Amino acid sequence: MWDGKRISVIFPTYNEKDSIRAAIEEFFSTGVVDEIVVVNNNAAPGTHEEVAKTAAREVFEPRQGYGAAIQRGLREATGDYLIVAEPDGTFDGRDVRKLLAYAEDFDVVFGTRTTTSLIGEGANMGLFLKWGNWAVAKLLEFLFDTTHFSDVGCTMRLIKREALAKIADGFTVDGSHFGLEMMLLVVSRGVRYIEIPVHYRARVGKSSVTGDPLKAVGLGLRMILFILAWRLRLARPPSARLAAIAPVIILVALALSLEGTRWIGGLVRRFNHRGAR
Ligand SMILES: Nc1nc2c(ncn2[C@@H]2O[C@H](COP(=O)(O)OP(=O)(O)OP(=O)(O)O)[C@@H](O)[C@H]2O)c(=O)[nH]1
Ligand SMILES: [Mg+2]
């Protein structure tokens, strides 16, 4: 309980057999968590046995994917404030109280994993992932004129039950960019939100998404297109669509033209060099 509110934590699980029990114990040890709902998403053998040793409630979601699992958890949780996190050892139970402190003024509190001094030894948040997340977050911030965002991939976040009721009918993504869809729904439906720094630690076991650079780039591109598509769809009146994403088109054109100028310069230099021989 916190401030008279019941607190639920949602842990989607796929490949966290070796860390899930400790994660459940760590989050319960905060003393404020009333319920932990584990969403077993066709998880690794042995996961169920580990969860059974704890006080968490386990539900089974056959529809595969990060988004499908979290949506199920949000439907199952019974608390007033719902906190989503991952049971892979990356998130710190102590951040629960930080999210709750901000819940006094906001209906959704997003975490960000890009705060240098909170990135733990061995955490999967090198330069590429940190600045990649930051860049996509800035695109979202600019195109939707939001408050500060610096991460589009942080699972750890708090949502109040009433805020969830305002956005839940808009969930469509079962896969890895569900977290971004939730952010877009929050910023576009008049929900009060803030982003705050959370710890990000080394993962226990193997990552199935951002641990693979190719998958991470693919996810990043998908997220950029998803944000642009949302911006186009929400442009009012529809004739303002081009204007809505014009700054992005100009930036891309500029980057390409700079690259193009360099390329033409290189050609000219090579041509001159040959002429001089
Ligand atoms: N990959 C994957 N994850 C799922 C699925 N269903 C639920 N999840 C959960 O989604 C979370 C994200 O998966 P991770 O493998 O940790 O990927 P990540 O968080 O991008 O990368 P790291 O935390 O750096 O390992 C974990 O808590 C998984 O248990 C699924 O079908 N596939
Ligand atoms: Mg993870």
Ligand 1 pocket test target in 9, 10, 14 with most atoms within 8 Å of CB:
14
C-alpha 242/C-alpha 181 separation (Å) is 22
Check residue 251 and give its pLDDT.
73
Q: Which ligand is nearest to the CA of 84?
A: 1
Q: Tell me, what DSSP letter sits at residue 189?
A: T
Where residue 249 falls among pLDDT bands split at 50, 70, 90? confident
Check if the beta carbon of residue 107 is closer than 8 Å to that of residue 197.
no
- Whole-structure pTM value: 0.90
* 208 Cβ inside 6 Å of ligand 1: yes
> Is residue 238 predicted with pLDDT exceeding 80?
no
C-alpha 46/C-alpha 28 separation (Å) is 21
Check residue 272 and give its pLDDT.
67
Q: Where are the domains of the chain?
A: 7-206
Q: How far is the CA of 143 from the centre of ligand 2 (A)?
A: 27
C-alpha 203/C-alpha 206 separation (Å) is 7
Work out which ligand 1 atom sits closest to the CA atom of 68: 6
Check if the beta carbon of residue 227 is closer than 8 Å to that of residue 184.
yes
Q: How far is the CA of 211 from the centre of ligand 1 (A)?
A: 10
| pLDDT tens digits for range 163-180 | 999 999 999 999 999 999
Q: How far is the CA of 196 from the centre of ligand 1 (A)?
A: 21
Helix (H, G, I), strand (E, B) or coil at 222: helix
| Lowest-confidence segment of 91-100, 177-186, 189-198, 232-241 by average pLDDT | 232-241
Check residue 32 and give its pLDDT.
98
* Ion ligand 2 — residues with CB < 5 Å: 86, 88
User: Which stretch of DSSP H or E encloses residue 7?
Assistant: strand 7-13
Out of 3.40.1360.10, 3.90.550.10, 3.40.50.2300, 3.50.50.60, which CATH number does the structure's domain 7-206 have? 3.90.550.10
Percent of the chain exceeding pLDDT 90 equals 81
Check if the beta carbon of residue 80 is closer than 8 Å to that of residue 191.
no
According to DSSP, the residues that pair with 197 across neighbouring strands are: 112
Backbone conformation region of residue 31, classed left if phi is above 0, alpha if psi is from -120 to 50, else beta = left
* 26 Cβ inside 6 Å of ligand 1: no
Segment 40-59 shows an average pLDDT of 98
Q: How far is the CA of 18 from the centre of ligand 2 (A)?
A: 13
Where residue 248 falls among pLDDT bands split at 50, 70, 90? confident
> Is residue 269 predicted with pLDDT exceeding 80?
no
Q: How far is the CA of 175 from the centre of ligand 1 (A)?
A: 10
> Is residue 37 predicted with pLDDT exceeding 80?
yes
* 76 Cβ inside 6 Å of ligand 1: no
C-alpha 270/C-alpha 28 separation (Å) is 67
C-alpha 26/C-alpha 33 separation (Å) is 10
